[in-house]
Amino acid sequence: MPTKKSPSRKNPLPADVRGHAGELHQQAGGTHPVMTTQMGIPVPDNQNSLRATPRGPTLLEDFILREKITHFDHERIPERIVHARGSAAHGYFELTDSLAEFTTAKVLTEVGKRTPLFTRFSTVAGGAGSVDTPRDVRGFAVKIYTEEGNWDIVGNNIPVFFIQDAMKFPDLIHAVKMEPDRGFPQAASAHDTFWDFVSLMPETMHTLIWAMSDRAIPRSLRMMEGFGIHSFRLINAKGESTFVKFHWRPRLGLQSTVWDEAAKLQGADNDFHRRDLFEAIDSGAFPQWDFGVQLFTEADAEAFPFDHLDPTKLIPEELVPLRIIGRMVLDRWPDNLFAETEQVAYCPANLPPGIDFSNDPLLQGRLFSYLDTQLSRLGGNNFSQIPINAPKCPFHHNQRDGHMQMQVPKGRVAYEPQSLVPDAPRASLAQGFRSFAQASDGSKGRVRAESFADHYSQPRQFWLSQSEIEQAHIASSYAFELSKVETLHVRDAVVGHLRHIDEGLAQRVADALGMAELPPAPQAAASVQDLPPSPALQLIGKMKDTLEGRCVGILVSEGSDGAMVDKIRKAAEKAGATVKIVAPKIAVTLKDGSRLAADGQLAGTPSMVFDAVASVLMPSEGDKLARDSAAVEWFANAFAHLKAIAACKGTQVILQKANVEPDAGVLAIEDVNGFIAAAKTRQWAREPNVRTLA
């Protein structure tokens, strides 16, 4: 056996990094503060643990090592049981139209005032490390730090919810999360337990049809609507109450992916939505939403053909128009994802005076759940002291002690009433939170109101309000999801429910699943009404023909014409898009001999991450790339995902291999204006040529 020499001789690190005391601070140039332990003790060496001899055992005495490892071991906190995967940003709320007639809440009455906020978007079903683009409802939670306390609007991007009563929430979530015996699928509703549950719960049918629509596969977090879902109350100075629903409307318009694109994005970029939000804010293109309210009285509500306290129902805008009263701007990415995005604790119970709850039984359950979750997730009763959760207005109370108390309260008095100190906090009837004095009658019991019994009229209204394209996508999503369900009676049960929504929808799904005949429809608890179609429920109707906030990819290679690339880049940027260069190598030499650095290498930057694509290639490079599957798929996918394509002559050979057929969205590279116009929208007319829809 050769005798081993001291291992430090073999260490490739320079001497100062190897940790000989005193030399560490020079390693990256400049001056650095001395690294210390949590207790402030200077660290002599951050590379080597304390050993009994150079090749001997590590000593328990090494408090520096133990502290470092112990802290690391506890770096994770329990992830949220739902909405674990989230991305957030700071910004502000600005009121443009006062609601003083309806509420005393200053945030809704002081026009022009900017109130800081923190907004977190999330998927529901997947874990914290899951991908950004599954088919799922998105969380849309806004914490507004008002001068009268924090106001949390903890909503979703879909205006209704699956269930009517808080009692069913754990069942819903257990059904949609990965199945407990096998541990899959992650972040997906396409499996037996979810569809088994919903097939036995007709109240889920409304949210389900929204979840099967393209609303559940958004293109960007910046292109989603947000909804408070439940009815809340506004209370004015006279103590009068008006019901209100809260809405967020993206200024960039709504946009979604197509399902094949969403599925492929999961491979292309796990962080597609997070990166998109980060890059937009980083570049100064701050996302904005209009804030709207639907206001209605108790008497209005009596006349609705549904119960507004039922969270599976929405109020069509045609019935109660939306009044835009403010805007939200997101203009700052968090400094630290854990400290802010992970530790933020939203709670629907956080309301300033002048806003109040309704009796929606789902909301009532939520008022309990969030605080309870946060006590265990954040480790104790002082989580409101974490900077992202702390109010930005003064606060005074007699709550004391507990895990991780960060404050040092002074004085003898931590109770009330008291007579020892003059300036201790006291409740104020005049300024305090007010609960609407609603009279109630009836008897106590575990009951579901009769007025909650109609489960099919609104999903039917939703279906009939959709464009043909949207209907085809919805029918196809049902077929896709149910095709993953192995238990045949579950498929039958779902299609049976669809018959109450629309026989045509049920038939399309049944055909796509290869069913020989339509299964029977279950008994409906209330007769299905024909409500008037509501065009405001469309997604396509709310898309904007714009390139603003979108991204155009340009494929180049050795010898490409730089002038042409510049022409497209300028036109796209003028239309509000960002432009990214993609090339087989990360830098190429252009026709004029100049070097162009690519933003992405072709193999790692598929066309799914762009809204439209262009290609400027020398014929010889086109011939070469026609043998590269990444290049062929770049165009095949752009075509299949209904994107505009501008291509030069050198690219034609790749287009042929990719089966890209000429249509209104496939343009010659010289037609820059035509390309920009086509890039502003999806090529819906192409869809029947590229996929079979139900």
Interface residue list for ligand HDE (CB under 6 A): 80-83, 86, 120, 122, 139, 141, 154-156, 161, 166, 169, 229, 311, 344-346, 362, 365-366, 369-370, 373-374
Q: Would you list the DSSP string of 260-322?
A: HHHHHHHHH-TTHHHHHHHHHHHTT---EEEEEEEEE-HHHHHHSSS-TTSTT----TTTS--
Strands 138-146 and 149-156, how do they pair?
antiparallel
Indicate the helix (H) or strand (E) that contains 65: helix 63-73
**Nearest-angstrom CA–CA distance, 641 and 257:** 8
**Nearest-angstrom CA–CA distance, 114 and 144:** 10
Closest residue to ligand HDE using C-beta atoms: 139
- For residue 634, which of 545, 557, 562, 522 has the smallest C-alpha distance? 557
**Nearest-angstrom CA–CA distance, 279 and 214:** 24
CB 538 within 8 A of CB 467: yes
CB 90 within 8 A of CB 116: yes
CB 42 within 8 A of CB 34: yes
Q: Would you list the DSSP string of 566-616?
A: HHHHHHHHHTT-EEEEEESSSEEE-TTS-EEE-SEEGGG--GGG-SEEEEE
Amino acid at 192: D
**Nearest-angstrom CA–CA distance, 170 and 158:** 20
Active site residue 156: yes
38: left (phi over 0), alpha (psi -120 to 50) or beta: alpha
Q: Is 503 helix (H, G, I), strand (E, B) or coil?
A: helix
Strands 86-95 and 114-123, how do they pair?
antiparallel
**Nearest-angstrom CA–CA distance, 236 and 225:** 28
Classify residue 625 by its DSSP letter: H
Give the helix ranges, DSSP H, for 454-561: 457-465, 468-483, 488-501, 503-512
CB 332 within 8 A of CB 281: yes
- For residue 504, which of 481, 534, 474 has the smallest C-alpha distance? 474
Annotated active-site residue in 90, 150, 156, 473: 156
Active site residue 641: no
Phi, psi of 19 (to 5 degrees): 95, 35
Q: Rounded to the nearest 10 degrees, how much is the dihedral formed by the CA atoms of 500, 225, 231, 162? A: 40
CB 117 within 8 A of CB 88: no
Active centre residues (catalytic):
83, 156
